């Protein structure tokens, strides 16, 4: 009976690591990178969305705080 000798751990790991980086390089060649103009446009869109959402949160906070303070005043003056 002949036994098949297993490669040592270092050779297996080194082979897998090399294969990973070859595949990574191959995949990165397929990436379509955005132009600086597209990056600027997308950044401005995100900043505008953050600003709009921030204003809505601030408005909700202001209205809710005002409403709660009026409710507290109304119940506090009943006693």
Please write the tens of the pLDDT for every residue from 48-60. 999 999 999 999 9
Asked whether the predicted pLDDT for residue 67 surpasses 80, the reply is yes
Looking at the structure of the chain, the number of domains it has is: 1
Asked whether the predicted pLDDT for residue 2 surpasses 60, the reply is no
Residue 62: per-residue pLDDT: 95
In a domain, 2, yes or no: no
Range of the domain at 42: 9-76
In a domain, 1, yes or no: no
In a domain, 3, yes or no: no
Secondary structure (DSSP) of 7-72: PPHHHHHHHHHHHHHHHHHHHHHT--PPPHHHHHHHHHHHHHHHHHHHHHHHHHHHHHHHHHHHHH
In a domain, 38, yes or no: yes
**For 36-44, what is the mean pLDDT?**
98
């Amino acid at each position: 009976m002949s036994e098949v000798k297993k490669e040592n751990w270092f050779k297996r790991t080194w082979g897998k690591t090399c294969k990973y980086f070859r595949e990574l390089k191959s995949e990165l060649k397929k990436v379509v990178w955005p132009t600086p103009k597209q990056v600027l446009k997308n950044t401005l869109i995100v900043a505008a969305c953050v600003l709009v959402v921030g204003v809505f949160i601030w408005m909700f906070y202001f209205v809710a705080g005002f409403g709660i303070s009026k409710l507290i005043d109304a119940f506090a003056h009943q006693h």
